[in-house]
A and B are shown apart, each in its own frame.
Chain A
């Protein structure tokens, strides 16, 4: 099977700038999306990441037009589409259930959007064939959806969404019905294909690893608002809120008092981190977020002092837990690090640029 990445590069003009301003949605008397602002670059891969019920799928459905916004503005390339019905928007959407039409062949599924656009038969056939080849489904054209594996159905759904050359590619948890291995392979293929074609993509997922792996930027959502919208590295290393820090990966959250700038005092020691947003005023209660991967355990430098409580070899990393006056600090050390003994007195340090600092509520 040809993989999606073998596809020829597209010469598509870059378009697909999506803008949401103050978009709101009330469902069943509850505000599930509150004043969401968002703007994509053309060709960007943007992910809405959050737990179920955070409003990400509702937001996507408003972008697609399946739900009406109760407030705010949705624009694509400067055109206001807030009240445009879905069939007059140009969005290619891939659903969690794939939503292939069960009574149509794969070719007819892919051709559906072209038929609706009254594309001539010859061109339609050509574009369908090209697209099926692009997603590695050539030879499956005559089959029905139920005769395909989950991964193949996913590719067919992607082909159906892309063949209409949409303004935006909307992906609603598209990989969550696949098994773990296939999920990783397909998401990488989709990301590669998206970059090649250059269509702006909006992915909705609750899987933080998936979001980190494929996105140009991630909008972390909870309770109907965007907590942080930034590049994956920023989101990971410098979470802006407690929610972002806790939702993505493992984090050391250390409470202290601001000393101005990025400096703060934790349990009598002075440490530094990068403030998320405006640096908190001197004396304010702050919290420092440090990922285990960036923590170094040694005997020099300014950092938190403590006693090694346990070390565990985990294969890819060595996990080291240090009991400090500010609480336990977990470090994930590389395999060749000098591993401290349990009971040893150590100092935990990190580069200020690898940790973030935010006001504590």
Chain B
């Protein structure tokens, strides 16, 4: 209220005093200083400490030196990359399909894409547990065909399916943004010059939608690398991913400094990617779909 107070205070509209702004922003500033900035600083600080509090680089040395954890890092990147590829494979044709629909249908499809994000992560993952489980529809389908159902749970495949399911929207929406920005007269123009439908796709649509693909890929990759719930439920301890080890180190092994170090490496991997991406964006003019 005080914000507008100025508006009518006559004069003051052109010279807002900063005090009102600060007052309005204060709750947000306090919350984020105390519950976002401070915890992250604590985390970074702790990652350079031993369990007894002395300064050390040992946590990072341990993470990078231990072949087991190097494997965890590698597997995290692999699963994230595969999920990104999966989203692109499913998402690109879907975005093309969406683009050809009326605005109304597009809106419905977008809602469908986004709905997994709004359903409880636990329940969603549990649903996949049922779908892919021994009594689920996939297994029944195999049995009906007289085949032995493959092991679909607690492995990379299960995590991959679950992750593509959640992340698809993050790939399709930026893609749509890019596709919509393509001048609709380009393809007819190319066809007029003798290009076939396929040529048009390869030479015009695909290259011009590259910014959207890149945006989607960055977001999907970094979100997948840092997600915990879906891999924990569908993959379990057998699928070695960094977020899971952050969790077990913090709650089971109770090695907080080490958990902090793994967490910080995770931040560097994911946030670094996103920061690089937004820097890229500021140079071109895409749109930030995430963050």
Direct chain A–B contact by Cβ atoms under 8 Å = yes
By a beta-carbon cutoff of 8 Å, the part of chain A in contact with chain B is: 27, 65-69, 83-87
A85/B13 in contact, CB under 8 A: no
B184 at the interface (CB under 8 A from A): no
B13/A67 in contact, CB under 8 A: yes
B10/A83 in contact, CB under 8 A: yes
- CB neighbours of B13 from chain A (8 A): 66-68
Residue contacts A-B, CB under 8 angstroms, 15 given: A65-B10, A66-B7, A66-B10, A67-B13, A67-B14, A68-B12, A68-B14, A69-B11, A83-B10, A83-B11, A85-B8, A85-B10, A86-B8, A86-B10, A87-B8
New contact pairs (5) apart from A68-B11, A85-B9, CB-CB < 8 Å: A68-B13, A69-B11, A85-B8, A86-B8, A87-B8
Give the Cβ gap from B20 to chain A, nearest Cβ, in Å.
Answer: 16
Give the residue name and chain of the A residue nearest to B5 (CB): A85
Give the Cβ gap from B148 to chain A, nearest Cβ, in Å.
Answer: 62
Residue from B10, B11, B12 having most chain A Cβ neighbours under 10 A: B10
Give the Cβ gap from A289 to chain B, nearest Cβ, in Å.
Answer: 37
Bound complex: CA A65 to CA B8 (Å): 8
A84/B10 in contact, CB under 8 A: yes
Give the residue name and chain of the B residue nearest to A25 (CB): B14
Bound complex: CA A67 to CA B16 (Å): 12
- CB neighbours of A83 from chain B (8 A): 10-11
Across the A-B interface, the 7 shortest Cβ-Cβ residue pairs: A68-B11, A85-B10, A85-B8, A65-B10, A87-B8, A68-B10, A67-B14
Bound complex: CA A84 to CA B10 (Å): 7
Bound complex: CA A27 to CA B13 (Å): 12
Bound complex: CA A66 to CA B14 (Å): 8
Bound complex: CA A252 to CA B7 (Å): 47
- CB neighbours of A87 from chain B (8 A): 8
Give the residue name and chain of the A residue nearest to B11 (CB): A68
- CB neighbours of A67 from chain B (8 A): 11, 13-14
Give the Cβ gap from B13 to chain A, nearest Cβ, in Å.
Answer: 6
- CB neighbours of B9 from chain A (8 A): 85
Give the Cβ gap from B11 to chain A, nearest Cβ, in Å.
Answer: 2
Give the residue name and chain of the B residue nearest to A81 (CB): B10
Bound complex: CA A84 to CA B14 (Å): 15
Bound complex: CA A27 to CA B12 (Å): 12
Bound complex: CA A87 to CA B14 (Å): 17
- CB neighbours of B8 from chain A (8 A): 65, 85-87
Give the residue name and chain of the B residue nearest to A83 (CB): B10
Give the Cβ gap from B103 to chain A, nearest Cβ, in Å.
Answer: 17
- CB neighbours of A85 from chain B (8 A): 8-10
- CB neighbours of A84 from chain B (8 A): 10
- CB neighbours of A65 from chain B (8 A): 8, 10
- CB neighbours of B7 from chain A (8 A): 66
- Interface positions, chain B 1-53, Cβ under 8 Å from A, are 7-14
- Interface positions, chain B 206-263, Cβ under 8 Å from A, are none
Give the residue name and chain of the B residue nearest to A68 (CB): B11
Bound complex: CA A305 to CA B8 (Å): 62
Bound complex: CA A86 to CA B9 (Å): 8
Bound complex: CA A83 to CA B13 (Å): 13
- CB neighbours of B10 from chain A (8 A): 65-66, 68, 83-86
Bound complex: CA A68 to CA B8 (Å): 10
Give the Cβ gap from B43 to chain A, nearest Cβ, in Å.
Answer: 43
Give the Cβ gap from B129 to chain A, nearest Cβ, in Å.
Answer: 46
- CB neighbours of A86 from chain B (8 A): 8, 10
Bound complex: CA A291 to CA B290 (Å): 61
Bound complex: CA A87 to CA B6 (Å): 12
- CB neighbours of B14 from chain A (8 A): 27, 67-68
Give the Cβ gap from A174 to chain B, nearest Cβ, in Å.
Answer: 21
Bound complex: CA A87 to CA B10 (Å): 9
Bound complex: CA A68 to CA B9 (Å): 9
Give the Cβ gap from A150 to chain B, nearest Cβ, in Å.
Answer: 24
Give the Cβ gap from B4 to chain A, nearest Cβ, in Å.
Answer: 11
Bound complex: CA A68 to CA B13 (Å): 8
Give the Cβ gap from B5 to chain A, nearest Cβ, in Å.
Answer: 10
- CB neighbours of B11 from chain A (8 A): 67-69, 83
Bound complex: CA A169 to CA B73 (Å): 70
Give the Cβ gap from B10 to chain A, nearest Cβ, in Å.
Answer: 4
Contact with A along B273-288 (1 / 0, CB 8 A): 0000000000000000
Bound complex: CA A278 to CA B137 (Å): 99
Give the Cβ gap from B17 to chain A, nearest Cβ, in Å.
Answer: 13
Give the residue name and chain of the B residue nearest to A67 (CB): B14
Residue from A68, A69, A83, A84 having most chain B Cβ neighbours under 10 A: A68
Bound complex: CA A65 to CA B12 (Å): 10
Bound complex: CA A68 to CA B11 (Å): 4
Give the Cβ gap from A224 to chain B, nearest Cβ, in Å.
Answer: 15
Give the Cβ gap from B74 to chain A, nearest Cβ, in Å.
Answer: 54
Residue from B8, B12, B13, B14 having most chain A Cβ neighbours under 10 A: B14
- CB neighbours of A66 from chain B (8 A): 7, 10, 13
Give the Cβ gap from A18 to chain B, nearest Cβ, in Å.
Answer: 17
Bound complex: CA A121 to CA B131 (Å): 63
Bound complex: CA A105 to CA B14 (Å): 31
Give the residue name and chain of the A residue nearest to B9 (CB): A85
Give the Cβ gap from B15 to chain A, nearest Cβ, in Å.
Answer: 8
- CB neighbours of A27 from chain B (8 A): 14
Bound complex: CA A86 to CA B11 (Å): 9
Bound complex: CA A222 to CA B221 (Å): 57
Bound complex: CA A90 to CA B224 (Å): 60
Give the Cβ gap from A62 to chain B, nearest Cβ, in Å.
Answer: 9
Bound complex: CA A85 to CA B11 (Å): 7
Bound complex: CA A66 to CA B8 (Å): 7
Give the residue name and chain of the A residue nearest to B13 (CB): A66
Give the residue name and chain of the B residue nearest to A64 (CB): B10
Residue from B8, B9, B11 having most chain A Cβ neighbours under 10 A: B11
